[in-house]
Amino acid sequence: MKKKLLSVLLCAAMAATMMTGCGTKEEPAAAPAEETSAPEADTSAAPADTTGSDEGSAEGKAYNIGYSNMQLKEDFFITVEGGIHKAAEDAGYVYNTTISDRDATKMKQNIEALVTKGADIIIDFNVMAEAGSAIASDLAKENIPMLSVDCIYDGAYFFGVNNLEAGEILGQTAAEYVDSKFGGELEYIVNVYDAASGDEIKKRNDGVVNVLQEKYGVPDDNVVWLDSKQDDVKSQTMTKDWLNSHPDATKIVIVGQNDDRGYAANAAVEGESRKDDCIVVSHNADPAPIENLQKHVEDKDTAWVATASYNSHLYGEQIMDMATKILNGEEVEQNGYTKVTIVTLDNVNEYVKDRDAAIAAMQ
């Protein structure tokens, strides 16, 4: 009997601890008490049925936002979540969030829990197109719109990067460096990418290649694709091997699909003392390229000259704006795209200042 009592006490203590210590508010800080119940009443007001409605956040309508997040381990996800949370609070919305940790089953269960809690819209940042499309279809049956972030789901609104366009913008910047560093001549375009990330993400490289091939007439045979299999070490080794097998090449643009690939490629370039022969550009504006650019603002002694920023610190505001319009029944483009900023040696300090100010405002 003592053991049973012990079990009950331990269990109760454990549950009480997690509820007092780990829980977060279900209600928005800014919302008045009566607004907590508003979302339930709004659930039936599907966006399709409210087209043309002039109700907006400015009138204090407290929507219930369900944010299904993949993780909170990487800067990009942390910043996006912080932005969405703040934007929801500022608008006086109910905000609930979950984390699936790359588990599609958990993602589905979490979204179901968010819907149970009265979500008027599901914003999903799990980047799982297959599972996400199926869930979007289920949600549509309940007239709950879904807004996917950075990955297009069938039947859902989308907000994120226009990968091809981002690549083309980065390509323009790369071309400027080709003109100034190589005198307007280019021999090779080397892409360090991950085939497993799919065709959509590959468009980031395609965009750069399109611009550079068109401008400098680089033959297809000189456009190289190195599949790093999402491995940093492999990315560096493959780039190094390619450079060693092309000792006479002196006008090379290396395109990293993301900054991890860019970092690895740049390490290979520096390791092989080929800085003068290469221009490295990549995507994401992670801390590594930003630090590298800041370090070389004065001496310009780096091959890694540009990274495309998708302005993750602006995601939250833009996503919430799109979500509000969807819920208000306003006309919204199916796909919304984030602003792309190319961060270079010339604008890195200004970019960091603006970014940090925006992030500070979230906290």
Residue 154 CB coordination number (10 Å):
12
Q: State the residue for tokens 């490289």.
A: 205
Q: Which is nearer to other proteins, 199 or 220 (CB)?
A: 199
As measured in angstroms, the least distance from the Cβ of 292 to other proteins is: 29
How far is it, in rounded angstroms, from Cα 333 to Cα 356?
30
73 close to 128: Cβ distance less than 8 angstroms: no
Per the DSSP assignment, residues forming a β-bridge with 193 are 227
Identify which of 346, 335, 360 has the alpha carbon closest to the alpha carbon of residue 147. Answer: 335
As measured in angstroms, the least distance from the Cβ of 129 to other proteins is: 7
> Residues in the site for other proteins, rule: CB under 8 A?
3-4, 7-8, 10-12, 14-16, 18-19, 21-26, 72, 96-105, 107-110, 112-113, 115-117, 128-131, 133-134, 138, 195-196, 198, 230
Strands of the sheet containing 121-125, edge to edge, are 94-99, 64-69, 121-125, 146-149, 157-160, 335-337
Q: Which is nearer to other proteins, 99 or 327 (CB)?
A: 99
As measured in angstroms, the least distance from the Cβ of 4 to other proteins is: 6
Q: Which is nearer to other proteins, 102 or 300 (CB)?
A: 102
Q: Which is nearer to other proteins, 3 or 245 (CB)?
A: 3
H or E, element range at 278: strand 278-283
As measured in angstroms, the least distance from the Cβ of 170 to other proteins is: 25
Rg for the chain, CA atoms, rounded:
24
As measured in angstroms, the least distance from the Cβ of 67 to other proteins is: 11
Identity of the residue numbered 181:
K
> In angstroms, how far is the first alpha carbon of the chain from the final one?
50
Identity of the residue numbered 314:
L
As measured in angstroms, the least distance from the Cβ of 6 to other proteins is: 8
Q: Which is nearer to other proteins, 138 or 272 (CB)?
A: 138
Helix/strand/coil for 253: strand
As measured in angstroms, the least distance from the Cβ of 158 to other proteins is: 17
Structure tokens at 190: 């080397």
Q: Which is nearer to other proteins, 27 or 214 (CB)?
A: 27
Q: Which is nearer to other proteins, 72 or 357 (CB)?
A: 72
CA 162 and chain centroid, separation = 11
